[in-house]
Each structure stands twice: as structure tokens, then as C-alpha cells.
């Protein structure tokens, strides 16, 4: 039996250590450890509730926007404050832009090289690659000339021996099975994706003032002034600019990202059988369509034990069962305390002990829903939508299944989605859905403005006593909730239950492991020195640990290592 | 300090990197905010606090003539001093940076962009060695004192490359919103020079 420690797991956001025990070529035990402390909750105590979102955006270095949104929603929930429709649409467009950016970066720049062998690209036949790509998609960037140019760049890198950031890939690993032509196609799109993740950011920046760390939020709405006769405010030029960017971006999402993920799924069908993990799923409703938050374009709900027929829909953010069901357990986390505590009473007092697999071993608490671990993320989002009959989810999920079947005849059904590959596919399906909704929400905003509504903000009024609120957001990595206790307009407690806390959850007081840990059980590991299969499953969750201290290192000290004992 | 204008019109990005809640790790945001207040630049210069963006840095480097990264830097340079590095000075260590958990993703991002023929023409790093990266304490006095020097270094880098920066006679107070409550009134706020 071999013990493998991967520390840190790279090509993720933040700091994650994975330990697995491998016996007979498969994983039989796993531990996930977040190695940095977040601690933002401590800073937020005592702050003015109207400015919490500015600080909350620093929960993460990448998903800054989502924490700002969850923060204002939590305070607005405590105040039972209505949000003007214009503000809802502007926020929704920001969230869509951010999510598309995040999903594109995850598939191409953070995880594609787990599947794509860059070193085989020089062997590809560009004409054949172009033929494959052009038969799969109407995308303009699949020509032989385009692919030849990319191949020549890779040949230059390989011939010159200057592999740079590609030096440490698991090239030639037996689990890398794409043809040289498929590797060339996907790597060409990897480079093209740089342009389109940029366009997603432009959507966020135009509406948010800047990104990362948008500046337009306010408790009660947004600070975007609307005046069709002013050059300095939201006007028809600005709306037209958004329309043009989205019309550039959407074909990449639907004709490239979505298609590539289906091709990858068809090429690695065994990954529909690995990595299922915790089969309880949680998604929260999002993209609100009215001031009170009673109608949504993305559905929420809960599925237990992998039984799609068991789906319980969450109609809105006031869902009492959800609010009562959530607890966090610190038994195996480096915090004081132990058993489950509801977020409003949560504490984040550190109690570091070093990595002790039978005691405390991570900075992540163990969130539970009625005592059960839950998997969150695009897969939960898609399964809840599919099981509850959400039309847009079914449309794009069925389109994905049809595409996969068209490649090698592989028949995929919704239950197969509960897997490592299902998580990749769900992210692409969700992106296609969001790309369609982007234009719809832009149209809703434009129509509302043209109907004469220029309201974007309702001023909050804080009562003198204690109030509590919870703000939800279905973030790119899954269900996010911020829980606040406010007294006289000041935070007296602040707790964030973030998607990666759900997925990277350690064992709880009953010894029940979380989704990462469970998903690794049964994964094959062909080469213990190069545990590529483990990384594929971990990366399928798009881990985003708390972003923390970083410094450039001009001395180039290596701190990552894979230890095999 | 916004990026609403289409980036095709921009030539220069001045980018502060770092976690503002981890002491001296927030040197980059501190220095670029100081620069933004002390110097007037043309519209082609974009000044950004990007925090800890990882690979999400790409849009802000995309197609630029010049990128100036300001960050806490571990190097052999003297402590309590601002150093200016060109890209080649980091080149020998790039392979290792690829797999460091603390790396901000700069070199990966640059490699991606250069392969796609849309990398910046020149990249400069302005940095200083951190003394303490402790959660929630704000930057050390030494780093606060270096902020104005770093701003001057940024201005010098830009001016020498034909992007004029004019020192303001009356500079606005930098918006260091992340400092611990109450410390904004203390002596640790970086001095904003006012010329007679």
C-alpha cells in the first residue's frame, strides 16, 4: 500500500493538500486539507453593514464578485429590503459575465492539461485535425492554417527545450489517450480562450466599474446611474457595447467550450464511472427576476442519495428548511469547538495542530445539511434543474448527450453525470445556459429602462435592535451563503459558508468524509509517482481554496512535492 | 482606476498584486494606490489593484505595450529598499515558479499570452522584500515608508519609456480602506508629499 501526498495541488486557486492511500492500483482512503486560514469573518465583525461587501470581496482573489453579491444580499435579507429590477438585472449580468469567465478559465487553463498531452502535438496532422474540428463545430478558428500555426509554436518550444510552464506536465502518461490531432485542437482553443475570458471580464467591468473587486454594489441595489441622455451613465451606447461583447463571446461558449467538453467526455468514457463521491446535491436559486426575489432563471433544490426523483425544489431565498438545515462542524478543522453549529452562531477562532489525520487536519470546516455532507457546484445545479424539469437545463443537457453519442456512439444518461466527467460536462452545460440567459437579461434591462424606469437603489434603514440575514448565490463553484448578525447597523457576527467548504469538507464528528475525499475512493492510480487520475477528479470540482499570502520568488524555491511513502 | 474603456486603447497597465489583509503581502496595492494619488498620467495608463488573481491576470496583460507589476518580492536585493526587475531576471526560476503554491500565476499567464501572440511587449516588476505577512495587521512601518519610493520608481519606469507622469502639487489622500480600524489617523499612513 502506498501513501501519496500532493502538496500543494497546482492549477487551482489557493492552497490544497490531498493525501491518498493506494492499494492494488486504486485509492481506498483520502484526506483533503486546506492549508491556509481565511479569517475574513474576524475582520468583518464591528464593521458597518453597508460596507461589508467591499471587504467580503477579498474572501477570494478570483471570485471577488460572488462574495460581494452574497454580502449585500445577506444584509438586504436582514432588512427585508426590495431591490429595484434594474439592479437585479445589472447584478445578474455581472454574475453571468463572472461565471463564464470562471468556467472558461477552469476548463482550458486550469484543467485541460490533465487530459491534453502538449508534447504529442508535433506529431499531429493539421489537415486531419482541421477536418475533425470543422466537422464538429462551425467555429471560425478551426482552419488548417490556424491549427498549423499553433502546431509550429509548440514545435518551436519542444525543439528549443524551453518548456517553461509546461516542464512539469505528466506528458506521455498512459492515462493521456487523446490523438495528436485532438490534442492540437484542444490546445489551439486553450490559446483562443484567452481572448474570450477577457471579453467576459469586460462585461463585468462595464457594469461593475472595474474587475476584480467591482465597485458598483450597494446594500439596496447598485450605484449605476441610468440616464439615456448622459455620456457618463448607463446609456444606449453602454448597452450596445455589452450586446456587442456578448455576441462575440457566446459563439465561443456554445461552439467551442461546449463542443470541446463533449469531445473530451466521448474520449474518456471511463471517467463517467469514477469520482461520484457524495451523491447529495445542493443548488440555490439565482438570477432573480423581480424586486422581492420570488422568481428566478436558475432553479435551486436538494437531491439526496443520488436519487434524482427525490429532488426537493427550493423556490426562493426565504426557504426555511434550507435555513434550518445548515450547520458547520469543526471536529477535524483547525478551529476551536467541535460539533455542528448553525452559521449565525459560528466562530472562526483558530486552533492549529499540524496535520493529524485522526484529529484536526484542515482549515476548512465541515458544512452539513440536516447532518449530511452535500456536493455543490455546476453538477448540483444541472442535476437539480434536470430533475425538476427546468426547460433550459434539459435543452442543453440533452444537446450534450446527443453530441457525445454522435462521436463514438456512447450513450450517456443523467445518472452518469454523477462522476468526475459529469462535473466537467455540467460546467460546460451551465455555461451554454448562462450564455443564452446573458442576452435575455440584457434585453430585460434595456426594456425596463426604455419603459422609463431608471431606479437602481432603495436606501436601507437599520433598526436599533439585532437582526439576522442570509444571502445566497449560486456561484461558479456552487452554493454560497453569507450569514450576518447586525446590531445598530454594525456586524456582530459574520460567517461565510462557501462552495469549496462544502466540497473540500473534512470528516465531521461522526467521521463522515466530504465530497473531495469520498470522490477519490476507487479512483485508479496507474503510476503512484504521477497520480494524474487523482488530479483529474480533484480538478473536476474546480477547487478554490481561500486565496492568501503569495509573493513572487526571484530565487525560484520549489515548494510543491508529490511524496510517495 | 477603472477599466471601462476598451483595453485596445490602453498601452500601459500598472498592477498591484497581493493580499491586503496579510501585512506586507499587500505592498503592491499600497504602492499603486500611492502612485495613483501622487502622479497624474495620461489615459493610456491603467492603474489596478488586482489582489491575488492567479491566472485571471490575463485580461490585464493582454496586448499591452508595457506592464508594471508591483508586489512583495523575495530576492537577493537589500531589504527595506525598492528594487526594479526586468522580466529576464525572473527567467531562470520560471520552471520552479510553475509549481509553487504561492506563485500568483504571473509566469503562466505570460506564457499563455505569448503563445497566443498577445503578451505585453515589456514587463517590469517593482518590488520590495516583505518583513511580515501576518494576517490582519496591515503593512509594516518599513513597507509603508517605501510606498512613496515605489510610486516614484513606477513613475520613472513609465517616464523613461515615453509615458509621462507628472507629480501632483496637491495629492489626494490614498484610499487604504483595508487598514485596521483607527490606523488611518496614525503615523503609519504613507506620507503624501506636497510640493511648494
Mean pLDDT of A343-367: 86
Q: What is the pLDDT of residue A478?
A: 96
Whether pLDDT at B128 is above 70: yes
Instruction: For helices A180-208 and A144-160, give the axis angle rounded to 10 degrees.
Output: 100
Segment A383-418, tens digit of pLDDT: 999 999 999 999 999 999 999 999 989 999 999 999
- Which sequence spans correspond to the domains of chain B? 7-169
d(CA A219, CA A47): 14
Q: What is the pLDDT of residue A275?
A: 95
Segment B43-84, tens digit of pLDDT: 999 999 988 887 788 889 999 999 999 988 877 667 788 988
Whether pLDDT at B96 is above 50: no
Q: What is the pLDDT of residue A7?
A: 67
* Contact status, residue A20 vs residue A12, Cβ threshold 8 Å: no
Write down the H helix ranges in A451-531.
Answer: 499-503, 515-520
Mean pLDDT of A418-444: 98
Cell numbers found for residue A553:
520568488
d(CA A548, CA A448): 41
Listed range (A72-76, A88-92, B186-190) with the worst mean pLDDT? B186-190
Q: Report the gap between the CA of B172 and the closest CA in chain A (Å).
A: 19
Share of chain B above pLDDT 90, in %: 40
Q: What is the pLDDT of residue A391?
A: 98
* Residues comprising chain B, all counted: 196
Spell out which residues of chain A touch residue B9, defining contact as CB-CB under 8 Å. Answer: none
Q: Which helix (H) or strand (E) holds A563?
A: strand A561-564
Whether pLDDT at A315 is above 90: yes
Q: What is the pLDDT of residue A150?
A: 95
Q: What is the DSSP letter of A334?
A: S
- Average pLDDT for chain A: 90
Count, in order, helices (H) and strands (E) of chain A: 16, 17
d(CA A219, CA A83): 9
Q: To probe the interface with A, which of B9, B57, B93, B99 has the most A CB atoms within 10 Å?
A: B99
Please name the residues in contact with B89: beta carbons below 8 A apart, sequence gap of 6 or more.
A554, B125
* Contact status, residue B180 vs residue B135, Cβ threshold 8 Å: no
Q: What is the pLDDT of residue B98?
A: 31
Segment B129-151, tens digit of pLDDT: 888 877 766 788 888 999 999 99
Q: What is the pLDDT of residue A285?
A: 98
Planar angle of CA B151, B153, B154, nearest 5 degrees? 65
B116 touches chain A (CB under 8 A): yes
CATH code for the structural domain at B7-169:
3.40.50.1450
Mean pLDDT of A103-122: 93
d(CA B154, CA B161): 11
Q: What is the pLDDT of residue A564?
A: 45
Q: Is the peptide bond before A8 cis (omega within 30 degrees of 0)?
A: yes
Mean pLDDT of A214-224: 96
Whether pLDDT at A145 is above 80: yes
Q: What are phi and psi of A288, to 5 degrees?
A: -65, 150
Helix (H, G, I), strand (E, B) or coil at A211: coil
Q: What is the pLDDT of residue B104?
A: 54
Write down the H helix ranges in A326-413.
Answer: 378-387, 391-408
Mean pLDDT of A429-449: 98
d(CA A267, CA A132): 13
A201 touches chain B (CB under 8 A): yes
- Which chain A residues in 145-184 lie under 8 Å from chain B, judged by CB atoms? 153, 157, 163-168
* Contact status, residue B34 vs residue B150, Cβ threshold 8 Å: yes
d(CA A342, CA A393): 32
What pTM does this model have? 0.87
- Average pLDDT for chain B: 79
Measuring CA to CA, which residue among A416, A366, A370 is closest to residue A518? A366
Q: What are phi and psi of A491, to 5 degrees?
A: -70, 125
CATH code for the structural domain at A40-520:
1.10.645.10
B68 touches chain A (CB under 8 A): no
Contact (CB<8Å) A39/B113: no
Contact (CB<8Å) B102/A553: yes
Whether pLDDT at B9 is above 90: no
Listed range (A110-119, A340-349, A474-483, B96-105) with the worst mean pLDDT? B96-105
Listed range (A128-142, A158-172, A245-259) with the worst mean pLDDT? A158-172
Whether ipTM tops 0.85, in short, is: no
Cell numbers found for residue B179:
487598514
Mean pLDDT of A249-278: 97
Segment A3-17, tens digit of pLDDT: 877 765 655 555 677
Amino acid at each position: 500500500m502506498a501513501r501519496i501526498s500532493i502538496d500543494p495541488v497546482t492549477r487551482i486557486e489557493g492552497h490544497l493538500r490531498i493525501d491518498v492511500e493506494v492499494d492494488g492500483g486504486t485509492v481506498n482512503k483520502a484526506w483533503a486539507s486546506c492549508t491556509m486560514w481565511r479569517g475574513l469573518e474576524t475582520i468583518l465583525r464591528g464593521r458597518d453593514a453597508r460596507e461589508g461587501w467591499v471587504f467580503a470581496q477579498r474572501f477570494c482573489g478570483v471570485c471577488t464578485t460572488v462574495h460581494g453579491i452574497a454580502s449585500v444580499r445577506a444584509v438586504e435579507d436582514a432588512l427585508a429590503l426590495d431591490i429595484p429590477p434594474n439592479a437585479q438585472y445589472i447584478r445578474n449580468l455581472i454574475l453571468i459575465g463572472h461565471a463564464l469567465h470562471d468556467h472558461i478559465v477552469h476548463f482550458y487553463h486550469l484543467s485541460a492539461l490533465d487530459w491534453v498531452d502538449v508534447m504529442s502535438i508535433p506529431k499531429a496532422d493539421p489537415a486531419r485535425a482541421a477536418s475533425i474540428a470543422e466537422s464538429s463545430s462551425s467555429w471560425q478558428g478551426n482552419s488548417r492554417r490556424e491549427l498549423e500555426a499553433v502546431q509550429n509554436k509548440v514545435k518551436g518550444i519542444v525543439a528549443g527545450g524551453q518548456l517553461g510552464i509546461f516542464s512539469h506536465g505528466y506528458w506521455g502518461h498512459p492515462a493521456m489517450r487523446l490523438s495528436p490531432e485532438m490534442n492540437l485542437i484542444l490546445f489551439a482553443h486553450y490559446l483562443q480562450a484567452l481572448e474570450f475570458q477577457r471579453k467576459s471580464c469586460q462585461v463585468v467591468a462595464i457594469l461593475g466599474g472595474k474587475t476584480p473587486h467591482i465597485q458598483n454594489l450597494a446594500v439596496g441595489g447598485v450605484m449605476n446611474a441610468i440616464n439615456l441622455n448622459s455620456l457618463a451613465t448607463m446609456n444606449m451606447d453602454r448597452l450596445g457595447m455589452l450586446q456587442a461583447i456578448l455576441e462575440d463571446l457566446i459563439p465561443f461558449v456554445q461552439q467551442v467550450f461546449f463542443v470541446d467538453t463533449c469531445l473530451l467526455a466521448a474520449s474518456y468514457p471511463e471517467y463517467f464511472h469514477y469520482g461520484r463521491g457524495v451523491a447529495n446535491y445542493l443548488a440555490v436559486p439565482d438570477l432573480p427576476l423581480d424586486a422581492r426575489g420570488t422568481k428566478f432563471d436558475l432553479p435551486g433544490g436538494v437531491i439526496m442519495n443520488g436519487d434524482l426523483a427525490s429532488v426537493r425544489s427550493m423556490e426562493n431565498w426565504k426557504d426555511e428548511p434550507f435555513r434550518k438545515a445548515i450547520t458547520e462542524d469543526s471536529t477535524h478543522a483547525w478551529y476551536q469547538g467541535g460539533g455542528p453549529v448553525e452559521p449565525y452562531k459560528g466562530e472562526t477562532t483558530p486552533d492549529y495542530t499540524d496535520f493529524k489525520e485522526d484529529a484536526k487536519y484542515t482549515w476548512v470546516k465541515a458544512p452539513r445539511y440536516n447532518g449530511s455532507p452535500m456536493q455543490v457546484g455546476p453538477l448540483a445545479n444541472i442535476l437539480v434543474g434536470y430533475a425538476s424539469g427546468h426547460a433550459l437545463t434539459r435543452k442543453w443537457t440533452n444537446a450534450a448527450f446527443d453530441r457525445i453519442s454522435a462521436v463514438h456512439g456512447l450513450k450517456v444518461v443523467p445518472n452518469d453525470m454523477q462522476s468526475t466527467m459529469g462535473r466537467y460536462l455540467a460546467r460546460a452545460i451551465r455555461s451554454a445556459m448562462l450564455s443564452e440567459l446573458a442576452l435575455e437579461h440584457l434585453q430585460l434591462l434595456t426594456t425596463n429602462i426604455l419603459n422609463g424606469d431608471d431606479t437602481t437603489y432603495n436606501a436601507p434603514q437599520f433598526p436599533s435592535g439585532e437582526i439576522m440575514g442570509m444571502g445566497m448565490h449560486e456561484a461558479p463553484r456552487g452554493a454560497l451563503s453569507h450569514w450576518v448578525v447586525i446590531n445598530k447597523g454594525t456586524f456582530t457576527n459574520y460567517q461565510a459558508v462557501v462552495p469549496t467548504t462544502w466540497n473540500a469538507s473534512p470528516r465531521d464528528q461522526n467521521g463522515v468524509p466530504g465530497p473531495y475525499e469520498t470522490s477519490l475512493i476507487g479512483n485508479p492510480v496507474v503510476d503512484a509517482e504521477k497520480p494524474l487520475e487523482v488530479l483529474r477528479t480533484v480538478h473536476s470540482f474546480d477547487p478554490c481554496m481561500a486565496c492568501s499570502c503569495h509573493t513572487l520568488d526571484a530565487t525560484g524555491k520549489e515548494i510543491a512535492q508529490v511524496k510517495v511513502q | 482606476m477603472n477599466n471601462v474603456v476598451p483595453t485596445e486603447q490602453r498601452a500601459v497597465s500598472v498592477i498591484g498584486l497581493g493580499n491586503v489583509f496579510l501585512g506586507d503581502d499587500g505592498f503592491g496595492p499600497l504602492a499603486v494606490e500611492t502612485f495613483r494619488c501622487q502622479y497624474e498620467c495620461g489615459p493610456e495608463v491603467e492603474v489596478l489593484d488586482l489582489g491575488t488573481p492567479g491566472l485571471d491576470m490575463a485580461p490585464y496583460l493582454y496586448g499591452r505595450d508595457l506592464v508594471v507589476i508591483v508586489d512583495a518580492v523575495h530576492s537577493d536585493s537589500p531589504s527595506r529598499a525598492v528594487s526594479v526587475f526586468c522580466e529576464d531576471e525572473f527567467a531562470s526560476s520560471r520552471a520552479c515558479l510553475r509549481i509553487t503554491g504561492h506563485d500568483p500565476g504571473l509566469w503562466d499567464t505570460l506564457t499563455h499570452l505569448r503563445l497566443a501572440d498577445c503578451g505585453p511587449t515589456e514587463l517590469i516588476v517593482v518590488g520590495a522584500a516583505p518583513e511580515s505577512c501576518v494576517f490582519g495587521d496591515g503593512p509594516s512601518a518599513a513597507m509603508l515608508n517605501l510606498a512613496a519610493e515605489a510610486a516614484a520608481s513606477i513613475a520613472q519606469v513609465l517616464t523613461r519609456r515615453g509615458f509621462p507622469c507628472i507629480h501632483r502639487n496637491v495629492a489626494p489622500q490614498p484610499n487604504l480602506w483595508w487598514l485596521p480600524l483607527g490606523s488611518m489617523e496614525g503615523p503609519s499612513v504613507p506620507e503624501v508629499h506636497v510640493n511648494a
